[in-house]
C-alpha cells in the first residue's frame, strides 16, 4: 500500500496537471458511476489527506480516491499510449485539452459533495504531511489506547494519517523500540511521531523512499523487507512477523538487539528470510 508521501507526491503531480483546467471528457468504468459525466467542470485543486486523494471540482463536487494496495494515477499527453496496465484495469479517465489522467486498479472511487468530505476523511488523525499536523494531538490519540502495541497503533489512521508499514518499521528501528512495546511504555511519543513525519517529509518530492540516506537498491532501508539479513548497525539477523488483528495484520520487521523489549506472542513465529523487495510507487 502506498505511504502518505507517495500519495502526497501523486496529488501534487495531479494538481499541477489538472488544476484550473476544464474537463473535456470523463470516463468512469465502475458500475456506480458508469453514467456520470463531468465534462465542462473545472478542476479546482487536487489535495492529499493521509492516504486519500481529493479532486475538487467546480459545482461543489469532489472525486474521492484511495489507492490501497494497487491503485495508481498516470498522466499522459493526449494521444499518447497508456502504459499503466491493460485497459480492463482502467477505472476512470479525466481528460483536459492538455492531459489524460488515467486511474488504474482504483479500489475506492466515489463522487460526493465537497461539503461532505468529512464523511470519508473526517475520521483521520492529523496528517503527517498536512497543514493540520499536530504532534500533541497525535500523542493524545495514541494514549487513548495505552495498552495497544506501538507497532499496531502507528498504523491506525485515526491516530495519525499517512504513516504506513514502511515508515512505522523504520521509525521504530531508528528510535530503538520493539514494535511490541505497549504505547504506555514508550518514553517519548512526541519525538516518535515527529521522527516519523520527518522521514516521510524527506521523501515526499521523489518516488524513491529512503530512510538511511542512500538511494541505492538494497541500501535504502534499515530493516524494512530485510528479513534474515544482518542489521546495518549490529549485524544481528533482522526478523519479521505478522502484527495486529486479522484481517489487518501487517508484516513487521525489526532487529531484536537494536530494538530490545517485548517480542511477538509465541503463536506468532518470525518469518524465514525472504528476498529484498521494493516498495517504490511510480505512477
pLDDT in tens, 206-226: 999 999 999 998 899 999 999
Could you tell me the residue range of the domain that residue 24 belongs to? 4-121
Residues with active-site annotation:
2-3, 51, 250
- DSSP class of residue 17 equals H
CB-based contact 203:4 (threshold 8 Å): no
In a domain, 244, yes or no: yes
User: Same domain, yes or no, for 12 and 61?
Assistant: yes
User: Same domain, yes or no, for 111 and 139?
Assistant: no
In a domain, 81, yes or no: yes
- Whether residue 278 has pLDDT greater than 60: no
Find the mean pLDDT for residues 31-35: 95
pLDDT of residue 248: 79
In a domain, 269, yes or no: no
Condensed to tens digits (0 to 9), the pLDDT of residues 138-196 reads 999 999 999 999 999 999 999 999 999 999 999 999 999 999 999 999 999 999 999 99
HSE of 188 in the Cβ direction (CA atoms, 13 Å)?
8
In a domain, 168, yes or no: yes
Length of the chain: 283
CATH of the domain at 21: 3.20.190.10
pLDDT of residue 271: 59
CATH of the domain at 239: 1.10.8.50
pLDDT of residue 267: 53
HSE of 177 in the Cβ direction (CA atoms, 13 Å)?
27
User: Same domain, yes or no, for 187 and 151?
Assistant: yes
In a domain, 260, yes or no: no
- Residue 283's pLDDT band (boundaries 50, 70, 90)? very low
User: Same domain, yes or no, for 78 and 142?
Assistant: no
User: Same domain, yes or no, for 42 and 93?
Assistant: yes
User: Same domain, yes or no, for 116 and 142?
Assistant: no
Q: Structural domain tally of the chain?
A: 2
Residue 147, number of CB atoms within 10 A of its CB? 9
CB-based contact 152:233 (threshold 8 Å): no
In a domain, 30, yes or no: yes
- Residue 275's pLDDT band (boundaries 50, 70, 90)? very low
User: Same domain, yes or no, for 150 and 109?
Assistant: no
Helix (H, G, I), strand (E, B) or coil at 128: coil
- Whether residue 269 has pLDDT greater than 70: no
User: Same domain, yes or no, for 184 and 236?
Assistant: yes
In a domain, 44, yes or no: yes
Find the mean pLDDT for residues 44-58: 97
User: Same domain, yes or no, for 109 and 150?
Assistant: no
- Residue 282's pLDDT band (boundaries 50, 70, 90)? very low
User: Same domain, yes or no, for 139 and 117?
Assistant: no
Residue 265 CB partners (closer than 8 Å, separation 6+): none
For residue 226, give Cα distances in angstroms to 86, 155, 239, 273.
Answer: 32, 20, 8, 8
- DSSP class of residue 3 equals -
Backbone phi and psi for residue 237, each to the nearest 5 degrees, phi listed first:
-65, 125
Find the mean pLDDT for residues 90-96: 97
- Whether residue 266 has pLDDT greater than 70: no
In a domain, 126, yes or no: no
- Residue 268's pLDDT band (boundaries 50, 70, 90)? low
User: Same domain, yes or no, for 11 and 78?
Assistant: yes
Q: Which three cell numbers stand for residue 89?
A: 484495469
Out of 109-123, 154-168, 170-184, 235-249, least confident range: 235-249
User: Same domain, yes or no, for 237 and 158?
Assistant: yes
The angle that helices 189-203 and 4-18 make with each other, rounded to 10 degrees, is 40
Mean pLDDT for the chain overall: 92
pLDDT of residue 279: 36
Amino acid at each position: 500500500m502506498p505511504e502518505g508521501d507517495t500519495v502526497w507526491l501523486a496529488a501534487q503531480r495531479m494538481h499541477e496537471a489538472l488544476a484550473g483546467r476544464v474537463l473535456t471528457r470523463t470516463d468512469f468504468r465502475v458500475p456506480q458511476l458508469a453514467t456520470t459525466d463531468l465534462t465542462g467542470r473545472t478542476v479546482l485543486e487536487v489535495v492529499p489527506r493521509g492516504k486519500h486523494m481529493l479532486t475538487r471540482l467546480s459545482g461543489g463536487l469532489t472525486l474521492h480516491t484511495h489507492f490501497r494496495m494497487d491503485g495508481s494515477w498516470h498522466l499522459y499527453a493526449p494521444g499518447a499510449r497508456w502504459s499503466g496496465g491493460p485497459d480492463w484495469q482502467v477505472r476512470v479517465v479525466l481528460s483536459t485539452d492538455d492531459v489524460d489522467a488515467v486511474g488504474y486498479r482504483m479500489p475506492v472511487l466515489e463522487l460526493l459533495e465537497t461539503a461532505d468530505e468529512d464523511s470519508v476523511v473526517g475520521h483521520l488523525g492529523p496528517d503527517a504531511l498536512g497543514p493540520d499536523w499536530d504532534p500533541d494531538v497525535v500523542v493524545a490519540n495514541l494514549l487513548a489506547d495505552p495498552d495497544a502495541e506501538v507497532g499496531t497503533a502507528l498504523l491506525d489512521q485515526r491516530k495519525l494519517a499517512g504513516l504506513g508499514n514502511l515508515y512505522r518499521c523504520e521509525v521504530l528501528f531508528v528510535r530503538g523500540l520493539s514494535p511490541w512495546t505497549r504505547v504506555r511504555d514508550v518514553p517519548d511519543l512526541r519525538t516518535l511521531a515527529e521522527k516519523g513525519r520527518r522521514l516521510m517529509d524527506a521523501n515526499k518530492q521523489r518516488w524513491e523512499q529512503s530512510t538511511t540516506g542512500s538511494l541505492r537498491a538494497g541500501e535504502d532501508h534499515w530493516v524494512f523487507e530485510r528479513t534474515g539479513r544482518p542489521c546495518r548497525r549490529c549485524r544481528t539477523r533482522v526478523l519479521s512477523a505478522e502484527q495486529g488483528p486479522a484481517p489487518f495484520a501487517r508484516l513487521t520487521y525489526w532487529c531484536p538487539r537494536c530494538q530490545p523489549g517485548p517480542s511477538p506472542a509465541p503463536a506468532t513465529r518470525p518469518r524465514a528470510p525472504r528476498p529484498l523487495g521494493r516498495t517504490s510507487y511510480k505512477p
